Chain A
Amino acid sequence: MNKNYKDSIPDWLPPALVKDWRQMLRTPLFMLGLLALGLLSFGFLLPPESEVLYKASYMPFVMMGTVVLCGLVPARVSQTVEGETKNPGTNFIRLTPLSSWQVVWGTWLSGAVQVVMLALLALPLVMLRMGHAPAGQEGLHLAAHLLLLLLLVLQGWTMVALAQASSSLPMVLRLFVFVSLLGSICGMDYEMVRVLLREQVSQFAGMYLLSVAALGVMLLTLLAEARRQYAHPAEDCVTPVRWFSMLAVVLYGAALLLNQAGLLGDYSWGCYGWAVWFVLGMAVWEVLHPVIGSHRGLLISGKSGMWGGVVWFSVAVGVCMLVGLPLLWTAYQKWHTLAYISKPLPPVYDLLTVYAYAWLTLLVGVLAALLLSQIFRRHSAGVFAAVLMLGVVVQGLDNMVAGLLPVPSWELLAMMAHLHMCDADRIELVQACSVVQVVWLVLLLAIFRMLTRRK
C-alpha cells in the first residue's frame, strides 16, 4: 500500500478539489508563477515621494491583482475543465455517486483556493505599506485595502465560476467572454479604488450588495454548469437556477431602491454594472443556446429556438432600460459626484436621448448580427477568428470596458452625454465611434453565430 498517497490529503476534502490540487501541485509552471508573483508584488512596497504618486502607484498593483485573480486563475480552471470535457473524463465522473453539484463545487473550490492563496501573497504587502506613507501623508486606510482585496477575491471566485461555465465554448468565444468580463471587472475596480482613495470606507452597503450580487451570479453560474455538464439528462435542474436568478434580481432591485434613497452614491455604479452584466449575460445565453448545440436555455425552454431567444433578449433590453431610468435620474441629480466631469449639467432630454440611443444601438446590433450571421455562416471561420483576435487586441488594449461590448456603462454614457452637450466639435467623433461600435458588434455576433452553429 502506498502510504505517501494514503496520508497526503484528508478524506473530508471534496474529491474534485483533491484531483485538481494534485494535478496543480505537479505543474511546475504554477509553482514558478506563484513564486514570481510573490516577488513581483514586493515591488509595490517602495513608497513614492509625492502623495499623488503614492496613491497612483497603487493602481498597477490592483490591476495586476485583478488580472491574476480574475484572469489567470480562472483561465487555468477553464482549461482544466475543457480538458476533462473533451475526453470521457466528465462521463466517468457523471457515473459516480457524486452529485453534479458536488463535482462542480469541488472544481470551483480548487480555483477559489488558488485565488485565496494568491491574494494572501499581497496581504503582507498591504500591511507593510500602511506604515510607509510619504512624509507628511496619512497612510492609506487599512480597512479600505483589505476590503478591496476581499472584493478582488470575490470577483476572482465569480470569474472562476464563469470560467467553468464557459469552458465548453469554442476557444475564440471563450476568449471574448473572458476579455469582456475582465475588462468590466478592471473598470469596476478602478472606480472602487478611486472612491476608496478619496472617501475611504464610508459606504459599506454598496460593497455588501455588490458582494452578494457577485455571489448570486457565481452560484447561478455553477448551477447552470452542473446541470449542463454533469447531471443525468433526465434530471431537471432548471428550477433551482430559476430560484437563484430571481434572488439575484431581487438583490439588484434592492440596490436600486437604496440608490434611490441616496444611500449608495458612487457604489451604485458597481451594483448597476453587475445587474447589467447579469441580465445581459442571461440574455446573450438565451440568444446563443439554440445555436451552441443541445444546451437548454437558462430561463426558458430550449424549444423556443433562436427567435424565442431574440424575443427574450429584446424584452431583457427593454427591462434594463426601464430599470435604469430611475438610476439615470439619480445620476443626473448627482452629476457633480463624477469627479472627472466638471462641465455644467446637460439638459435632461439630451441625456435621455443618449441613453435610449445607447440601448437601441445594442438591440439593433444584436438583431442585425443575427440576420447578418445567416449570410456569413458559410464563410471561413479562420477569417472571422482573425478579425476577432485583431479586435480583441486593439480594443482590449485601448479600453476593455467599452471596447468589446458596447454596454452603456455609466461612465461611457456620462462621457457621451458630456461630449454631446458641451463639446459640439466632437459630436461627429462620438457619432463615428458609435457607428464603429455597432459595426464591430454586428461583426462579433456574426462570428458567434458562425462559430457556434450546429454542425
Chain B
Amino acid sequence: MANALLSVRGLQRAFGEVQAVRDVSFELERGQSVGVIGANGAGKTTMMRILVGLDLQDAGSICFDGVAMEKEPQKLRGRIGWMPDAFNPPANTTVWEYVDFFARAFGLRGEKRDAEVTRVLEFCGLKELQERRVDKLSKGEQQRANMARMLIGDPELVVMDEPAAGLDPRARLEFKHCVRELVRQGKTLLISSHIISELAEMCDSFILMDKGQVLRHEGCEEMRAAGSAAQRLVYEFRLAGAGAGALQQALEALPEWEQVELLAPDAVRAVYAGEPGEPLALQLRTLAAEHLLVQAACRQVSLEETVIDLMNGHE
C-alpha cells in the first residue's frame, strides 16, 4: 500500500511458552476502518497493546507514518488513541476534570484546551454530564468518557479493544453511533469485537486472527464469500413424523451436504455446499418424496458462521 499509515511486519510476542502473537503482518491505509476478529486468546489484545506502545514485541517491526515505533516511541505519543474494554474511573474526579487532565497532557492551553474538551464531550454526548463524577456514571457513560479521553488531541489512528463489551443495547447503540461518526470523519480505525455483525456495519475490512496469526485480511464481502462458505445454504427440514434419523443418514450419504445435525425426532439441519439451481432443486424434490418433508427452511450462512468455518478450516 502506497498510502499506508500503519505497517506491521513479522510481529511476534511470547509470554513464556505461550506464543501470543506470531508473525503478524498487515497494513492500514489512512481512513480505513478495520475490524479485528477472532476467538478469545487469538492474540488480538496483545497485538493491539503492542501497536499502541503498551507492550514490546519480541520480533518484527511497526512503522507508523514513516516512524519506527520501537526506535522512536516518543515521537508517536499522542498520535495513536487507545480504548480498552473497560477502565476503573478515577475517584473524586468530574467528567470535565478527567478529560481536561488529558487535554493538559497534550499541551493544550487556555481557550484551545477548553474548546477541545468541549468538542470531545459534545461528540460523545457528555456535555450535560460534565460536572458529574466519572465513578458515578453508568457503564455506557463511562465508556463514552473513555472515548472522549481517547479523542483528545485528535489521534490519527484509533485502536479500540472490544469497546462495547458489557454495554446494554441502548448504550451499545449510542456507542455505535459515535464510532460510525468517527468513520464518517475519516478516522483510521482498528476495532475488535466478538459481535461480528456489528463490526460489519462499522468497518470496511476484517483481520481474522487465530492462535496469534492473521488468517485473513480482507473486505467484509470477500470474507463472506471466502472459501467453501461462498455458496452455502443452511436448511432446516421438518418431517411429518419421527423419521429424522433416516433423513440424516440419507443426507450424510450425499456429498453436497455437510454438518448434518439431528435437531429433534422430526427435525434435521444440514448445510448445502453444492451447486445451487437445478441440482439442488432435484435433490430437495427427491428428499421431500422419500421422507415426507413438510417444511424446508433455507437461509444463507451468516458472517459469524463463515468466520467459525474459516477458523475451523485453519485448524
Contacts and interface: CB of A to CB of B under 8 A. Distances in A.
Note whether A and B form a binding pair: yes
Nearest to A6: B114
B104 interface: yes
Contact of B104 (A18, A26, A89): A18
A87 B118 CA distance: 25
A347 interface: no
A235 B73 CA distance: 7
Q: Which of A11, A95, A98, A233 is the most central at the interface, judged by chain B CB atoms within 10 Å of its CB?
A: A95
B90 A15 contact: no
Interface string A226-237: 000000111100
Interface in B101-137: 101-102, 104-107, 109-110, 113-114, 118, 130-131
A2 interface: yes
Contacts of B90: 19, 23, 83-84, 89
Given A22-B93, A23-B93, A87 B88 contact: yes
B275 to A, nearest CB: 52
B56 interface: yes
Interface in A1-48: 1-2, 5-6, 11, 15, 18-19, 22-23, 26-27
A308 B85 CA distance: 40
Interface string B214-242: 00000000000000000000000000000
A18 B69 contact: no
Contacts of A6: 114
B82 interface: yes
Interface stretch (B47-55, B245-253, B264-272, B290-298): B47-55
Nearest to A92: B149
Interface residues of B, number: 42
B87 A89 contact: yes
Contacts of B74: 99, 232, 235
Q: Tell which of B53, B73, B101, B130 has the most Cβ of chain A within 10 Å.
A: B101
A174 interface: no
Contacts of B93: 19, 22-23
Interface of A: 1-2, 5-6, 11, 15, 18-19, 22-23, 26-27, 83-84, 86-89, 91-99, 232-235
29 contacts: A2-B96, A2-B131, A5-B94, A5-B96, A15-B101, A15-B104, A18-B104, A22-B92, A22-B97, A23-B90, A23-B93, A83-B90, A89-B87, A89-B88, A91-B82, A92-B87, A92-B149, A93-B105, A95-B53, A95-B54, A95-B78, A96-B77, A96-B153, A97-B78, A97-B107, A98-B105, A232-B56, A232-B77, A234-B70
